[in-house]
Structure 1
Amino acid sequence: MSERMVVIGGDAAGMSAASQARRLRQAEELEIVVFERGHFTSYSACGIPYWVGGDVDDRDDLIARTPEEHRARGIDLRLRTEVVEIDVPGRRVRARDLETGAQSWTGYDKLVIATGATPIRPPLPGIDAAGVHGVQTLDDGQALIDTLESIEGRRAVVVGAGYIGVEMAEALITRGYDVTMINRGAEPMATLDPDMGVLIRKAMEGMGIRVIGGTEVTAVRTDDAGRVRAVATADDEYPADVVVFGIGVRPATDLARAAGLPLGAYGGLLTDLAMRVRGHENIWAGGDCVEVLDLVSGSERHIPLGTHANKHGQIIGSGVGGDYATFPGVVGTAVSKVCDLEVARTGLREKEARAVGLQFVTVVIESTSRSGYFPGTSLMTVKMIAERRTGRLLGVQIVGREGAGKRIDIAAVALTTRMTVEQMVALDLGYAPPFSPVWDPVLVAARKAVAAVRKDCRG
């Protein structure tokens, strides 16, 4: 007898799950219905700032697989259709056609929740004014580009200095805008410790971006036509022709909450290792709407990244398709850039380590990307956090230029395997003058961390 798989959300996790399930089970065995409220599927949201900034020429370059391609593989994909209710006891969902308003129920044998995350929009006066944007979907990116191409003014304000905020500030200054960034924290990139964030601020200021730290936005000012004209704080007002909010996202779990499904401390769905929603054998969830196990701290965290979402989808599709796979957790690896400055982190920051009761030592080193005599060599800063007494690696942050960012992968592997900094020193990494000094910067930091752990033990 044929079963029906219903997927809510048609981006990374949802379509990966649907595609993997289709590979394992034919249409006569498994009907697959996907509801997606937007106009697009299977796209790279991470690439939107680079499309806005002009590094990516065309919106379609960000689309990995079109709706037509999914449908050709036997997936019933329904765009511009929003699921508004999940009836868990009745095993059905209620969906609304966003074009006509018509609503209907669809039953399921297997349900996949891949609703993603939604940008945080504080309830500020003027937040919904024309010219104020968030950047989460391709529709959001297109709306922002349409605004940029229609306005005459060249003043932009970016609110928030996380990954999206920093990348959007770069994109706007690349387009010739006068950019002001307003951030609640003292330094940009709250995913780094402040002593590393200051390196980002100096780089941004060197690009001509005005960085206002330790300040909260209180209102968006509008003109008589209802368009944005300025962003206000408690102490000042900053003129703006366009405003981009990038102050973070939250799991889009209102549907799940209303259905009584289990949520964690961050508001994300809680799943088992196979990505099934806890306590529900026939419901799976993945992507930015779930919380995942942090392998370093041992607690659940909300880490919205496309890498995780695609893996979740593969695991979910395998489970629905009758195969077996699990998602063991993450170590919190991320990499970004500000013009030619590369920024990377993995594991815990000092604040996070303290919050879970870990005691640690920290070291910060400055080294070079290549042998010092080789052309194109540049400096990079590496911060390493190791547990007291044991020397177990807890976290690494790297800021530098070409060749710095992807070095974080060394630390990510070390964290995943619970290596000590002493074990890291013995790693057999590749060496040649065009790629690295004899002692790679990560190993230089590990050597210094070993010395700090030993000194702490003697003390």
Structure 2
Amino acid sequence: MPAREELIARAPEEHRARDIDLRMRTEVTEIDVPGQRVRWRELESGAEGWTGFDRLVIATGARPLRPPVPGVDAQGVFGVQTLEDGQALLDGLSGARGRRAVVVGAGYIGVEMAEALLKRGFEVTVVNRSEQPMSTLDPEMGRLVHRAMDGLGIRTVGSAEVTGFVADGDGRVRAVATEAAEYPADVVVLGVGVLPETSLAEAAGLPLGSSGGLLTDLAMRVRGQENVWAGGDCVEVLDLVSGRERYVPLGTHANKQGQVIGSNVGGDYATFPGVVGTAVSKVCDLEIARTGLRERDAREVGLRFVSVTVESTSRAGYYPGAAPMTVKMLAERRTGRLLGVQIVGREGAAKRVDVAAVALSARMSVEEVAALDLGYAPPFSPVWDPVLVAARKAVAAVRAAG
């Protein structure tokens, strides 16, 4: 098994070798924007002080949600936010009294944790508030994920609100309780999402959006501020499809935003124009992808749309290894503009969403998508790629809708 250190991109010593005054185990407790200074405290010594700044970058990330229910701090209940969390979970798995695991939440983290636990020989139950896993998909596409997880031996319980974690006399978790039932557990993993960590920014009077994330301009400068930038999981971003701000905490965005901020703080110029909401995941051999808007998203912003779903295969049907794939596509009813794509399938399914992501960024219509000159050979695709098949069906639906 690879060492944990292999996951660290740069050690503190490497930063210091580049003349960066990196202070580990030191937290900022206050931001004084008018005075251009921050108050800090060393966690181990308790020493405090102020440090001035010419330019400030806020990259406080996100904080994991923990259900506010009894027993959440019981031994054997783990979050998975940091490397230390991951190591604690691995240690907890090796010391577990039995092989029963419960995952709370069925988003990206939840389904990936379910896979990891299953591969380590645990009997896995996923308890989820929504009816279907992967609420980033429309329900019928989430149902495909549910069915596949069941087929893998992962028990998925939907529409279940966790009411508490039941501990034994030693304070170790033994079950996860909902209103309807208790699910035995020797280990519990929390995967119920995150919120932007913006308490410092809020106290400093900096602007926050509806999700609690910092609001920035295209240069990632905090709105209304000349010398303050922000990026990563603590900011909201512009959704290029809906035209609204939204919270999308993904590493791809954080990395790009970091480059933009670095360029601008250093005197160069760069922008982060926004996102279309592209994400991929997997659970065992099932691939899951989405980009753009779900039906619920489109309704919330007042868009009239058509939606189509097609069944296809990852390769030519006669070619060995062809695997089933389901593609759902949304298009604006009046213009035919592509609004969103969701894909669930086996090998070769997920990365097809990149074609749709490019089309969304270019504001292409489904008619234009259907005419794209995509690569074809039997080992890679049917003559009509599944995305193109969905686009053709969406064109017909737009025309039928008048």
- The normalised TM-score by structure 2 is 0.99
> Which residue pairs with 2:19 in the alignment?
74
Match of residue 159 from structure 2: 214
Pairing of 1:258-407 with structure 2 (within 5 A): 258-407=203-352
Deviation track 1:261-314 (CA, whole Å, cap 9, x = no partner) reads: 100000000001100000110000000000000000000000000000011100
Match of residue 3, structure 2, among 58, 61, 70: 58
**Partner of residue 249 from structure 1, selected from 166, 189, 194:** 194
Q: Quick one: which amino acid aligns to residue 93 of structure 2?
A: L
* 1:233 corresponds to: 178
Separation of aligned partners in 1, 2:184 and 2:164: 12
Task: After TM superposition, give the deviation of residue 225 of structure 1 in Å.
Answer: 1.5
Q: State, as a whole percentage, how many aligned pairs show the same letter.
A: 75
2:50 equivalent to 1:105? yes
Q: C-alpha distance in 2, partners of 1:270/1:192? A: 26
Given candidates 56, 63, 67, the residue that maps to 1:122 is 67
Q: Quick one: distance in 2 between partners of 1:428 and 1:64?
A: 38
Equivalent residue, structure 1, for 2:361: 416
Deviates more, 1:348-357 or 1:67-76: 67-76
Q: How far did 1:434 drift?
A: 0.8
CA distance in 2, matches of 1:234, 1:57: 41
Equivalent AA in structure 2 for residue 229 of structure 1: R
CA distance in 2, matches of 1:367, 1:126: 46
Cα distance in 1 for residues equivalent to 2:2 and 2:326? 33
For 2:92, what is the secondary structure of its paired residue?
helix
Residue 401 of structure 2: SS of its match in structure 1?
Answer: helix
> Equivalents in 1 of 2:212, 2:357: separation in Å?
26
Deviation at 1:86, TM superposition (A): 0.8
Q: Distance in 2 between matches of 1:161 and 1:394?
A: 24
Look up the equivalent residue of 1:190 and give its one-letter code: S
Deviations 1:102-153 (A, max 9, x none): 2221111110000001111121101111111111111111111111122222
Runs of 4 or more, structure 1, over 3 Å off, are none
Does the CA-based 8 Å contact 2:102-2:126 persist in structure 1? Answer: yes
Unaligned 5+ segments in structure 1 are 1-55
Amino acid at match of 1:294: D
Offset, 1:356: 0.2
Counterpart AA for 1:278: R
Q: TM-score, normalised by structure 1?
A: 0.86
Distance 2:49 2:73 in 1: 30
2:107 is the counterpart of 1:162:
yes
**Cα distance, 1:101 vs structure 2:** 2.1
User: Is 1:136 the equivalent of 2:91?
Assistant: no
The answer to which of 328-337 and 117-126 deviates more is: 117-126
User: CA separation in 2, counterparts of 1:372 and 1:237?
Assistant: 45
SS in 2 for 1:372: coil
The CA distance in 2 between the partners of 1:66 and 1:407, in whole Å, is 35
Structure 2: how far apart are the matches of 1:449 and 1:328? 28
Listed one character per residue, the Cα deviations across residues 152-190 of structure 1 (whole Å, up to 9, x for unaligned) are 221111000000001001111111111111001000000
Aligned residues: 402
Asked if residue 223 in structure 1 is aligned to residue 168 in structure 2, the reply is: yes
Partner secondary structure for residue 126 of structure 2: strand
Q: What SS does the aligned partner of 2:115 have?
A: helix
Task: Summarize deviations over 1:363-383 as a string: whole Å, max 9, x none.
Answer: 000111111111111110000
Q: Distance in 1 between matches of 2:236 and 2:33?
A: 21
User: Which residue in 2 is equivalent to 1:21?
Assistant: none
Please list, as runs of the form range in 1=range in 2, the aligned pairs for 1:167-206 lying within 5 A after superposition. 167-206=112-151
Is the 2:304–2:334 Cα contact (8 Å) retained in structure 1?
A: no
User: What root-mean-square deviation, in Å, do the aligned CA atoms of Structure 1 and Structure 2 show?
Assistant: 0.9
Alignment partner of 1:451: what SS? helix
For 1:292 and 1:358, the matched residues in 2 are separated by 20
What letter is aligned with 1:368? T
* 8 Å Cα contact 2:57-2:230 kept in structure 1: yes
Give the C-alpha shift of residue 446 in structure 1. 0.2
In the alignment, the residues of structure 2 paired with residue 150 and residue 87 of structure 1 have an alpha-carbon distance, to the nearest angstrom, of 46
Query: 2 CA distance for matches of 1:240 and 1:252?
Result: 30
Letter in 2 for 1:107: G
Q: Is the 8 A contact 2:306 2:398 kept in 1?
A: yes
**Using the alignment, how far apart are the partners of 2:119 and 2:3 within structure 1?**
17
Q: Which runs of 5+ in 2 are unaligned?
A: none
